[in-house]
Amino acid sequence: PHSGEIDIMEHVGYEPGRVHGTVHTGTYHHSIKTQKGGSMHVDVQQWHTYTVEWRPEVVLFACDDTVYQVFHKESDDPAVWPFNQEFFLILNMAVGGDWGGAHGVDEAAFSGNGQIMEIDWVRIEQRDLKWA
């Protein structure tokens, strides 16, 4: 997380229908329980448009044009705001590990259609901003 990470969408196995948008930095990350994130309920069986707008002073998270999380730039310190350099953008379905496996892993959840994440497209746009 020290180089910056924006989780565009995280869906945790033990929270069906809740999606999260999270920012991880050197100062704000899950290992020290200071990550900055928000969530909303969606029908995960339907298609959705997940959006992250990365602006010079703020990162906005939305699903189907509904903003559910805003992360404001608090400092130029790269540990707080590393988003003026290369960083990671992630779409995540957490079914195990520290977070997704926190309540154990339901092996039956992998039968039938199981755990499927389909992505139709990802589009990254860059606006002509003089700060970048």
Which active-site residues does the annotation give? 5, 10
Q: What are phi and psi of 97, to 5 degrees?
A: 75, -165
Beta bridge partners, 88, equal 5
User: How far apart, in whole angstroms, are the C-alpha atoms of residue 100 and residue 93?
Assistant: 8
Which two three-digit tokens encode residue 38? 């928000």
User: Which positions ≥6 away from 55 have C-beta within 8 Å?
Assistant: none
Which has the closest alpha carbon to 61: 87, 36, 80?
36
Q: For 13-104, where are the E strands, in sequence order? A: 18-24, 36-41, 50-54, 58-63, 66-72, 88-94
